[in-house]
Structure 1
């Protein structure tokens, strides 16, 4: 099984809010884009909440997202995994992104939203202890199509928290 590498963060220096996933899935890695799986609700939900046209090309969508003060990244920068499920990540292979450097470069970030349980667990285990209580962290329901127990409308309602 080969080593998978994630993406650099999407962030401008003035970012105030960070949204974290766990690790890009196979469709995202193949496309070179965050949340590229056609059934993942991330972009439709976030764009609806922030008033961005979800039909815009990826580069324009991410530019507008960042200009609104939001940053996007993953807890893991690399790992070994078969398929796309977080449960298939080999624990011994996990490489956590460099959050100390990221937060130093983005000092206005005051909130972190975690896209699903895996991102929340990884963040709380590997990143949060070094942060102390300086940044508010909130787990949101995963936008992944694997989270089929939540409807789009229910996910959208929960994700409206990022705009408050």
Structure 2
């Protein structure tokens, strides 16, 4: 079965582009990035600021955009059954160069996991020098634990490398 990514979620002044590989089955069904409640992404993004995620998807997107975070995927479409990156075949990349041309404020691309990173390097390896953008390979926020990444807290700690690029919270 051929599956397709969503349009990017990006706001003016975006600084960090978080690239997944391809939305999982639950995200595709709900048409929402990181819709699987067990995925750590939203807890990681909010956790970088010591907060708990909002319940509503639109509020989560607004929070990310206000912090300078954009969401997209390296893959526009692929053949895949289920949600596992290991099952991805015949992938076609998204137009990441076009997005970066439209949003020159992006200073960092954070690949959410190995498949995203490898696909980006394969298709856009020379793009980084042209734009002066930092590329980071971050541990996947997938709910599948690894020996090094077992909890949300493990992932938050690894993703702290993004903090210098993000827009801080306003003091209250």
TM, length-normalised to structure 2: 0.88
**1:160 aligns to what SS in structure 2?**
helix
**1:94 aligns to what SS in structure 2?**
strand
Q: Structure 2 CA distance, aligned partners of 1:140 and 1:8?
A: 22
Closer/same/farther in 2, CA of residues 50 and 11 from structure 1, 3 Å limit: farther
The one of 104, 111, 116 equivalent to 1:107 is 104
Q: Structure 2 CA distance, aligned partners of 1:154 and 1:67?
A: 24
The 5 Å alignment of 1:1-164 reads 2-50=1-49, 53-90=52-89, 93-132=90-129, 134-149=132-147, 150-152=149-151, 153-164=153-164
Q: Is the 8 A contact 1:50 1:163 kept in 2?
A: no
Closer/same/farther in 2, CA of residues 99 and 30 from structure 1, 3 Å limit: same
Once the two structures are TM-superposed, the CA of residue 160 in structure 1 deviates from its matched residue by 1.4
- 1:111-154 superposed Cα distances (whole Å, 9 cap, x missing partner): 11111111111111112223326211011110101234312221
Q: Structure 1 CA distance, aligned partners of 2:59 and 2:154?
A: 27
- 1:79-123 superposed Cα distances (whole Å, 9 cap, x missing partner): 110111111011xx2110011210011001111111111111111
The gaps in structure 1 that reach 5 residues or longer are none
Stretches (4+) displaced over 6 A: none
TM, length-normalised to structure 1: 0.92
Q: How many residues align?
A: 161
RMSD: 1.5
Closer/same/farther in 2, CA of residues 96 and 86 from structure 1, 3 Å limit: same
